[in-house]
Chains A and B, each alone.
Chain A
Amino acid sequence: MTTNNNAAHKYVIETHDLDIYYGDFKAVTGVNMKIQRNAITAIIGPSGCGKSTLLRAFNRMNELYAGTSIKGQVTFDGQDIYAREVDPVEVRYRIGMVFQKPNPFPKSIYENIAWTARIHGYKGNMDELVENSLRQAALWDEVKDKIKQSGLSLSGGQQQRLCIARAISIKPEVILMDEPASALDPIATLKIEELMQELKKNYTITIVTHNMQQAARASDYTAMMMLSGEGERSGTVIEFDETHRIFTVPKDKRTEDYVTGRFG
Chain B
Amino acid sequence: MKEKAFVQGFDTNLEARHRKGLLWRVVFQASTIVGIVALIALMLNIINSAFGFVAYEAKVDPDTLTVDGTPIQDQSKEQLVARLQSTLSRGAYNKLDKDEPFAERSREEVYQLVIERIVRPQVVEVWNLWSSLTQADEIRAAVARDHPGAELEFVSWLTHDFVSRPQTSEPLTAGVRTAILGSLWTILFTILLAFPIGVGAAIYLEEYASDNWLNRIIQTNINNLAGVPSIVYGILGLAIFVRTLEPLTSGAVFGLVDPTTANGRTVLSAGLTLGLLVLPIIIINAQEAIRAVPHSLRNASYGVGATKWQTVWSHVLPNAMPGILTGTILAVSRAIGETAPLVVVGASTAISFDPNSPFSKFTTLPIQIYQWTSRPQDEFRSLAAASILVLLILLLSLNASAVLLRNRFARRF
Residues of A within 8 A of B (CB): 59, 61, 64, 66, 89-90, 92-94, 96-99, 101, 103-106, 115-116, 119-120, 150, 152, 163, 166-167, 170
Contacts and interface: CB of A to CB of B under 8 A. Distances in A.
Contacts of A166: 300, 304
Given A64-B298, A119-B306, A119-B310, 19 more contacts: A61-B302, A90-B305, A92-B304, A97-B304, A99-B299, A99-B303, A101-B296, A103-B296, A103-B297, A105-B300, A105-B315, A106-B319, A106-B412, A106-B413, A119-B304, A119-B307, A150-B412, A152-B412, A166-B304
Contacts of B100: none
A105 B301 contact: yes
Contacts of A64: 298-299, 302
Contacts of B297: 103, 105-106
B211 A61 contact: no
A230 B296 CA distance: 31
10 contacts: A61-B299, A64-B298, A66-B211, A89-B307, A93-B305, A106-B412, A119-B304, A119-B314, A152-B413, A167-B304
Interface string B230-242: 0000000000000
A64 B211 CA distance: 13
Given A99-B296, A101-B296, A106-B319, A116 B304 contact: yes
Interface in B357-413: 411-413
Interface string B270-314: 000000000000000000000000101111111111110010001
A119 B44 CA distance: 58
A66 B210 CA distance: 9
Given A106-B319, A150-B412, A120 B305 contact: yes
Interface in B328-364: none
Nearest to B306: A119
Contacts of A90: 305
A96 B310 CA distance: 17
B299 A170 contact: no
Nearest to A93: B305
Contacts of A150: 412
A96 B297 CA distance: 15
B412 A119 contact: no
A167 B302 CA distance: 11
A92 B310 CA distance: 14
Contacts of B319: 106
A152 B298 CA distance: 16
Contacts of A93: 304-305
Nearest to A59: B303
Contacts of A119: 304-307, 310, 314
Contacts of A98: 303
Given A115-B314, A150-B412, A152-B413, A104 B305 contact: no
B305 A61 contact: no
A104 B300 contact: yes
A101 B300 CA distance: 10
Nearest to A92: B305
B305 to A, nearest CB: 3
